[in-house]
């Protein structure tokens, strides 16, 4: 008899970007979608989140890192101010997470790591939610769509 003991994470992280372009789309009910390029994102003042770890199922834990980017609160304040209840953040590879409006200020669309640009391979644009401790299950790499929820 074989006893199959698995300690494997239920999600195998995808190591390779689904496309080369870090641009993403902001979708809202009853409005045309807004395309946001990396250049658009770089126009915002940079917010930094210190003491962040990547608890990677693939590569183990690394950090602490200082991520730089734009919070969802900053982004939505500029492009789509409204009383949203939350958002679904998705990657082109099908991975994603939901974020409540109360978390918009602590959800970073990261484009820098320790003061240098994040590479596409590393997840540019990578969602960082520092309170997330579940093996990076909310660190969405290669964000391609943000769908706002009423």
Ligand X SMILES: Nc1nc2c(c(=O)[nH]1)N[C@H]1C(S)=C(S)[C@@H](COP(=O)(O)O)O[C@H]1N2
Binding site for ligand X (CB under 6 A): 11, 13-15, 54, 56-59, 91, 93, 95, 135-137, 139-142
Q: Tokens 């609160």 identify what position?
A: 73
Binding status of residue 135 toward Mo ion by CB under 5 A = yes
Q: Are 65 and 53 in contact (CB under 8 A)?
A: yes
Q: Tokens 């003061």 identify what position?
A: 115
Q: How far is it, in rounded angstroms, from Cα 116 to Cα 75?
A: 21
Binding status of residue 70 toward Mo ion by CB under 5 A = no
Query: Residue 107 Cβ, how far from ligand X at the closest point, in Å?
Result: 14
Q: Which of 145, 147, 148 is nearest to 22 (CA)?
A: 145
Bridge partners for 27 per DSSP: 147
Smaller CB separation from ligand X, 18 or 77: 18
Q: How far is it, in rounded angstroms, from Cα 140 to Cα 126?
A: 6
Smaller CB separation from ligand X, 40 or 56: 56
Smaller CB separation from ligand X, 2 or 7: 7
Smaller CB separation from ligand X, 45 or 94: 94
Query: Residue 41 Cβ, how far from ligand X at the closest point, in Å?
Result: 17
Query: Residue 88 Cβ, how far from Mo ion at the closest point, in Å?
Result: 19
Smaller CB separation from ligand X, 2 or 53: 53
Stretch 30-69: interaction string toward Mo ion, x if CB under 5 A: ---------------------------x------------
Q: How far is it, in rounded angstroms, from Cα 23 to Cα 69?
A: 14
SS percent in the chain: helix, strand, coil, step 5? 15, 40, 50
Binding site residues, Mo ion, CB under 5 A: 57, 135-136
């Amino acid at each position: 008899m074989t006893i199959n003991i698995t300690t494997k994470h239920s999600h195998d992280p995808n190591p390779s970007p689904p496309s080369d372009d870090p641009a993403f789309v902001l979708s809202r009910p009853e409005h045309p979608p807004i395309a946001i390029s990396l250049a658009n994102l770089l126009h915002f003042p940079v917010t930094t989140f210190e003491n962040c770890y990547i608890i990677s199922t693939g590569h183990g834990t690394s950090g602490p890192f200082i991520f730089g980017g734009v919070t969802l609160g900053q982004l939505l304040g500029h492009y789509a101010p409204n009383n949203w209840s939350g958002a679904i953040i998705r990657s082109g590879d099908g991975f994603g997470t939901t974020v409540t409006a109360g978390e918009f200020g602590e959800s970073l669309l990261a484009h820098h790591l320790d003061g240098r640009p994040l590479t596409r391979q590393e997840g540019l644009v990578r969602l960082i939610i520092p309170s997330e401790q579940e093996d990076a299950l909310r660190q969405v790499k290669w964000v391609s769509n943000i769908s706002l929820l009423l």
